[in-house]
């Protein structure tokens, strides 16, 4: 009987394994040349067990019959940095990953032989995988909100993904998809702004659905030479490839939206794959059925696709596209129901966004050549009307109309080459911009005022970088980028240098210096500010990182940023464009202002191994500026500190024909309050009037506290995976201040709060 029982257990276990197991395959390549690395060692680690494989001549590895669960993929190769990457295997589809290794100079001597070392990171460099965006609590499946789990990065308002990096204005951010510049790829760009007018660098919901994401690269510190036209950071969203062997589908329903995704091969040779997702907002669907959310009708929808083709001789071609539309509208209330100023108005905001891009890659013997081109644009309009207010009142704007059209064509060519112990990268990026804005308003008995302007020109950015691998411990790089804007014939030369020292195979120190610059926003140029220089910044970073063999990472950064050629008023005042958050500036500005940001960041992260993960970090920083009055003050974004802590754990239970997992993740955010100007009491003019006294931005909002929770349940069965989760943002319903404004209905200063408790229920099925 004992033998029979053991045999039944073995047979049952084997059947279960066969029913649910999946394939994991991938490719290992050189990060510089993208050449396949034959003979690389690949380990698939789970708890205390591991299985190994070796890459073939094409750099490909395959693991068969991998049971669903969380794994760590560890790749090592002689003379290259070892890379560790988290991987979630589900029964619904096979897992495909591409891992790029970075070479270091492998000097052999009598004292020490170093065959490999841990992966090193640039200061402020983060890679957010799609799996992490789906796992961390209360991020609305948005990788940009995920980055707020790290120190030094906060959202300007809970209602949007507009981020403040190291005390910089959100206007200093650059958006990219697959390495190509694009216009702001977000729905509802007016969400959470002071004026309810759209901002150009964030929004309520990312148009690119998480279903298509492979990885999002964030740079919040010194920028590599390939990146330009950014002062605070870069967001580069990378879309994943579809399956080339079989068709798969995903359906997801949540408070954010209803998603339907499909992927699979195209053509007989199966060298081309497609991936597409359509999403319609759940809130919009409920609004059509008569439901209201905060008395507003909110809706959006989007379509995103990605096609990828692999050819012989190391050639590949990818094509992506996205299109989205969003709106929110508010109907005025009867006068006897007015509670706040907004109740007086009919407000309607609409936006349309689109983008498409092609990227070509050619791998050569010791080089890689790539080129890409994208076209993206947006149309936004907002109309505010007060239909029931008696004529003659000077404290009310009867009508306020705003229209903004943007078109961006971005193209680049780049070559990466390896010559002995030198790594060379050179290229050029050219952006053509054509933007137009118009606005009109009427107050009291005044005449209707209409403003119109446009900006058209090319931003040309050639660059080159040389990196020398000195020995096992040292490498250094130097680079230069030139930026020239034809619209007003302004330019800048941007030198960039750095050195790295690795005292051991698991740790490294990096010291980098960058000079970076950025063109002004379209709304700034249109406001009679055409002759402004590019805003520039010296950026110095000193970073230390340690990465253990079991997925534990510790990092610390000390940084200093000196900004100059900042737009300020020509007459003495405290005004500076560094405090802009919506970028609707004053006229007659000059490029004579300065500012500085400096601080220290420390964080530690444990990958999701041994059933748990965590991210813990803190930062202390200062953000200062000087207007044309030459008085140093805190900027609006000088919150002084951030403390972040995220912890998650998962339990797995085996059933006869399925595997079930339950997970819990919690996150706490403690942030120093941002700053605002003093508001004048008893105002007769429309809008909010601020005091022009010397106490500028001395009013500090209360410190921000928020606790988020995520509970998820996942079931793997043969050919499908089902996930049910609930995300709860602000579980304790803490009232965090967003800003203050003068309310002309209340005749008093009113407090606008951040979002309260928001539960987001998610149902997802992959098959």
Q: Both tokens of residue 28?
A: 């290992």
Structure confidence at residue 654 as a pLDDT band (50, 70, 90): confident
The answer on pLDDT for 183 being more than 50 is yes
* Whether pLDDT at 256 is above 60: yes
Q: What would the 3-class secondary structure string for 606-663 be? A: EEEECCEEEEEEEEEEEEEEECCCCCEEECCCCCCEEEEEEEEEEEEEECCCCEEEEE
Res 9: pLDDT:
36
- Specify the pLDDT at position 190: 87
Residue 548's pLDDT is 85
Of all residues in the chain, the percent with pLDDT exceeding 70 is 93
Question: Smallest Cα–Cα separation from 712: which of 668, 760, 658, 755?
Answer: 760
Residue with tokens 């022009």: 692
617-629 average pLDDT score: 96
CB-CB contact of 416 with 367 (8 Å)? yes
Q: How far is it, in rounded angstroms, from Cα 669 to Cα 145?
A: 12
Alpha-carbon gap, residue 100 to 32, rounded angstroms: 9
**Among 677, 705, 671, which Cα is nearest to 689's?**
677
* Residue 734 main-chain phi, psi, to 5 deg: -70, 135
- Residues near 644 by beta carbon (within 8 Å), at least 6 away in sequence: 148, 149, 150, 151, 603, 615, 616, 617, 618, 667, 668, 669, 670
CATH 2.40.170.20 range(s) for the chain read: 125-766
Residue 114 clears pLDDT 60, i.e. is over it:
no
Which CATH topology does 2-118 take? Immunoglobulin-like (2.60.40)
Q: Which residue did the predictor score with more confidence, 688 or 9?
A: 688
Chain CA centroid to CA 716, Å: 30
Task: Give the torsion sign (CA, 185, 190, 193, 198).
Answer: positive
Contact between 218 and 233 (Cβ < 8 Å): yes
**Has residue 202 got a pLDDT over 60?**
yes
**pLDDT computed for residue 122 by the predictor:** 79
The reported pLDDT for the residue numbered 286 is 60
Q: What is the pLDDT of residue 110?
A: 41
Round to whole Å and give the CA distance between 51 and 44: 5
The pLDDT value recorded for residue 766 is 92
Contacts 24+ apart (CB under 8 A), 648-657: 648/135, 648/136, 648/608, 648/612, 648/613, 648/614, 648/710, 649/611, 649/612, 650/70, 650/608, 650/611, 650/612, 651/611, 652/69, 652/611, 654/16, 656/12, 656/16, 657/16, 657/19, 657/717, 657/718
Q: How far apart are CA 29 and CA 101, in angstroms?
A: 6
CATH 2.60.40.1120 positions along the chain are: 2-118
SS3 59: coil
What is the pLDDT at residue 414? 96
Confidence of residue 486 (pLDDT cuts 50, 70, 90): very high
Please compute the mean of the pLDDT values over residues 743-767 and round it to a whole number.
90
pLDDT of residue 686: 77
For residue 75, is pLDDT > 70? yes
- Determine the average pLDDT of the residues in 254-271: 88
Mean pLDDT, range 167-181, rounded to an integer: 94
Mean pLDDT of 661-685: 89
Pair of tokens at residue 161? 């993904």
What pLDDT score was predicted for residue 10? 36
Q: Comparing C-alpha atoms, which of 219, 237, 240, 180 is closest to residue 413? A: 180
| Average pLDDT of the residues in 716-742 | 92
Radius of gyration, CA atoms only, the chain: 27
Residue 19 has a pLDDT of: 53
The whole-number average pLDDT for the span 733-738 is: 94
Superfamily of segment(s) 125-766: TonB-dependent receptor, beta-barrel domain (2.40.170.20)
Global pTM value? 0.90
Dist CA 133 CA 215 (whole Å): 9
Express each pLDDT in 432-467 by its tens digit.
999 999 988 888 777 677 788 999 999 999 999 999
Beta bridge partners of 758: 729
pLDDT, residue 140, reads: 85
pLDDT-derived band at 561, boundaries 50, 70, 90: very high
Residue 583 pLDDT grade (very low, low, confident, very high; cuts 50, 70, 90): low
Please say if the pLDDT value at position 612 is more than 50.
yes
Q: List, in sequence order, every residue forming a beta bridge with 764; answer none if it has no partner.
A: 252, 723
Q: What mean pLDDT, rounded, does the chain reach?
A: 88
For residues 489 and 549, the answer to whether their CB atoms sit within 8 Å is no
Q: Which of 50, 47, 21, 40 is nearest to 99 (CA)?
A: 40
CA dihedral angle for residue 23, residue 24, residue 25, residue 28, rounded to 10 degrees? -170
Judged against a pLDDT cut of 70, whether residue 18 lies above it is answered with: no
For residues 557 and 580, give the distance between their C-alpha atoms in angstroms, rounded to a whole number. Answer: 26
The pLDDT of residue 477 is above 90: yes
Residue 478, pLDDT score:
95
């Amino acid at each position: 009987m004992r033998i029979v029982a053991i045999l039944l257990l073995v047979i049952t276990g084997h059947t279960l394994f066969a029913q649910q197991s999946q394939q994991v395959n991938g490719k290992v390549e050189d990060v510089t040349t993208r050449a396949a690395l034959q003979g690389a060692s690949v380990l698939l680690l789970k708890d205390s067990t591991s299985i190994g494989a070796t890459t073939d001549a094409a750099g490909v590895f395959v693991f068969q019959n991998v049971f669903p669960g969380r794994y760590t993929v560890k790749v090592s190769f002689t003379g290259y940095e070892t890379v560790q990457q988290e991987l979630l295997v589900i029964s619904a589809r096979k897992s495909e990953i591409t891992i790029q290794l970075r070479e270091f100079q492998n000097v052999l001597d009598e004292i020490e032989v170093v065959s490999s070392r841990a992966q090193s990171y640039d200061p402020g460099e983060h890679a957010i995988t799609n799996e992490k965006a789906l796992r961390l609590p209360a991020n609305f499946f948005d990788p940009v909100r995920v980055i707020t789990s790290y120190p030094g990065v906060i959202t300007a308002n809970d209602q949007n993904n507009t981020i403040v990096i190291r005390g910089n204005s959100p206007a200093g951010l650059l958006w990219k998809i697959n390495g190509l510049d694009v216009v702001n790829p977000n729905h509802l760009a007016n969400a959470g702004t002071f004026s309810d007018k759209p901002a150009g660098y964030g929004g309520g919901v990312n148009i690119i659905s998480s279903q298509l994401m492979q990885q999002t690269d964030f740079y919040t510190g010194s920028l590599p030479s390939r990146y330009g036209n950014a002062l605070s950071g870069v967001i580069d969203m990378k879309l994943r490839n579809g399956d080339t062997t079989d068709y798969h589908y995903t359906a997801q329903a949540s408070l954010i939206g209803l998603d339907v995704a499909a992927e699979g091969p195209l053509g007989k040779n199966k060298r081309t794959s497609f991936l597409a997702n359509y999403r319609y907002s759940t809130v919009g669907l409920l609004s059509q059925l008569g439901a209201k959310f905060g008395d507003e009708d909110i809706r959006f929808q989007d379509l995103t696709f990605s096609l990828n083709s692999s050819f012989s001789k190391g050639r590949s071609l990818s094509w992506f596209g996205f299109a989205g539309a969003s709106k929110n509208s508010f109907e005025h209330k009867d006068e006897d129901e007015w509670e706040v100023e907004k109740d007086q108005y009919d407000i309607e905001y609409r936006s349309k966004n689109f983008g498409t891009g092609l990227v070509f890659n050619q791998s050569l013997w010791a080089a890689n050549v790539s080129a890409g081109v994208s076209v993206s644009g947006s149309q936004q309009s907002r109309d505010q009307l007060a239909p029931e207010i008696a004529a003659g009142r000077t404290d009310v704007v009867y009508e306020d109309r705003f229209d903004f059209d943007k078109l961006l064509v971005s193209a680049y060519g780049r070559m990466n080459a390896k010559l002995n112990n030198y790594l060379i990268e050179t290229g050029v990026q050219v952006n053509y911009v054509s933007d137009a804005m118009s606005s009109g308003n009427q107050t009291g008995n005044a005449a209707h005022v209409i403003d119109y302007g446009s900006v058209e020109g090319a931003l040309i950015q050639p660059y080159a970088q040389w990196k020398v691998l000195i020995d096992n411990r040292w490498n250094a790089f130097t680079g230069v980028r030139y930026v020239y804007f034809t619209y007003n014939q302004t330019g800048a030369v941007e030198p960039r240098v750095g050195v790295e020292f690795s005292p051991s195979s698991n740790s490294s120190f990096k010291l980098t210096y960058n000079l970076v610059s950025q063109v002004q926003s379209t709304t700034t140029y249109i406001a009679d500010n055409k002759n402004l220089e590019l805003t520039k910044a010296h950026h110095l970073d000193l970073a230390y990182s340690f990465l253990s063999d079991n997925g534990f990472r510790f990092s610390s950064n000390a940084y200093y940023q000196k900004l100059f050629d900042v737009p300020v008023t020509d007459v003495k005042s405290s005004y500076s464009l560094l405090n802009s958050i919506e970028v609707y500036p004053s006229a007659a500005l000059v490029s004579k202002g300065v500012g500085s940001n400096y601080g220290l960041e420390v964080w530690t992260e444990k990958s999701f191994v041994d059933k748990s993960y965590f991210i813990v970090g803190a930062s202390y920083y200062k953000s200062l500026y000087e207007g044309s009055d030459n008085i140093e003050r805190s900027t609006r974004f000088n919150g002084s500190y951030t403390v972040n802590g995220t912890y998650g754990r998962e339990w797995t239970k085996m059933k006869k024909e399925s595997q079930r997992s339950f997970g819990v993740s919690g996150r706490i955010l403690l942030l120093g309050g941002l700053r605002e100007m003093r508001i004048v009491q008893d105002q007769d003019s429309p809008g909010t009037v601020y005091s022009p006294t010397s106490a500028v931005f001395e009013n500090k909002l209360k410190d921000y506290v928020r606790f988020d929770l995520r509970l998820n349940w996942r079931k793997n069965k043969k050919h499908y995976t089902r996930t049910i989760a609930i995300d709860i943002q602000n579980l304790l319903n803490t009232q965090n201040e967003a800003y203050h404004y003068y309310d002309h209905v209340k005749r008093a200063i009113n407090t606008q709060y951040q979002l309260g408790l928001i539960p987001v229920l998610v149902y997802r099925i992959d098959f």
